[in-house]
A = this chain, B = another copy of it.
Amino acid sequence: MSRPESELAAGDHIFLAFLLWGPASAYDIKKTMAVSVSYFWSAAHSQVYQQANRLLRGGFIKEKEAPGGRRKRILSLTPKGRRAVTGWLASPASFPEFRNESLAKVFFAAHGDLEKIRAMLLDQRDHHVSQLAEYEGIRKLLELADNPEVPYELMTLRLGIAVEQTCIAWADEVLKDLDRKIRSGRDSGRERRGGSARK
Contacts and interface: CB of A to CB of B under 8 A. Distances in A.
A153 to B, nearest CB: 6
Interface in A70-86: 85-86
A149 B22 CA distance: 53
Given A105-B93, A120-B92, A40 B149 contact: no
Nearest to A18: B108
B155 A162 contact: no
A198 B152 CA distance: 14
A170 B166 contact: no
A45 B105 CA distance: 22
A22 B99 CA distance: 24
Contacts of A102: 93-96
A110 B124 CA distance: 34
Copies per assembly: 2
A127 B95 contact: yes
Interface in A96-155: 96-113, 116-117, 119-120, 123-124, 127, 147-149, 151-153, 155
A152 B116 contact: no
Contact of A93 (B97, B120, B167): B120
B174 A155 contact: yes
Contacts of A123: 92-93
A97 B96 contact: no
Given A36-B107, A92-B120, A96-B102, 18 more contacts: A17-B107, A20-B108, A37-B104, A40-B99, A41-B103, A89-B109, A89-B116, A91-B120, A93-B124, A95-B124, A96-B98, A98-B98, A104-B156, A106-B156, A108-B152, A109-B149, A151-B181, A159-B170
Interface of A: 1, 10, 13-14, 17, 20-22, 36-37, 39-42, 44, 85-86, 88-113, 116-117, 119-120, 123-124, 127, 147-149, 151-153, 155-156, 158-160, 162-163, 166-167, 169-170, 173-174, 177, 181, 194, 196, 198-199
